[in-house]
Amino acid sequence: MARVGNYFLGHPWRILVHSFQTCALAHYVFNHQYSFGWGFGPSMLPTFLVDGDIIIFDKHHRRGRDVRVGDCVSYHIPVSPDEDGVKRVIGMPGDYVLMNSPGATSDRMIQVPKGHCYIVGDNMPWSRDSRDYGPLPLALIKGKAIAKGQLVGWKPWRWFEPVPNGLAIEESS
C-alpha cells in the first residue's frame, strides 16, 4: 500500500485513536487543571466587568489549597449549591475579620474558624458573601482566578491579563 502524504489517511482506526486521546486530554485539563467561566453582575466591580469577563481558574487551588488573603476564588455558593460565585478572600483560618461592611452600625469582629475562609465582593453594597452566610468552608472552593479578559479584537496577547490582588499595597516609584 502506497503511503499517502496525510498521516490520518493511512488507517481509519488512527483517526479514532487520536480523537479519543485528544478528548481524554481535554477532559483531564478542564476537570483537574484549569477551567474558565464567565463573570457577570456588579458584586466584583471594578475587578471584573458587569457584562461578563471571561475568567480562567487554576484548579490546583481547589479546596483552599495555597489560597491567600487577597486572592479571588471560585466557589459553590452555600445557600444555593447549584450556583457558583467569584469573590475575594479577606480572611483565612485564625484571622480576625470585621463581620459587616466598614461603617455599619455593628463593628463586630470574628475569628475565622479552622477549615474556613471569609470572602467578600469588591463592590460590597452589591455583594452576597460571607457577611450574609458566614465563613465559607474551604471545601467549597473550586479554584483561584488567575486571569481575566474579553475576547475582542484580533490581538490574542491582549485578550487576558492577570487578576490583581485587590488587597496588596501598591508601591509608588
Annotated catalytic residues are 43, 87
Distance CA 78, CA 3 (A): 59
In three-state secondary structure terms, 70 is coil
- Contact partners, residue 142, CB within 8 Å, separation at least 6: 35, 57, 59, 62, 73, 74, 75, 76, 84
Q: Which residues, in sequence order, are bridge partners of residue 34?
A: 58
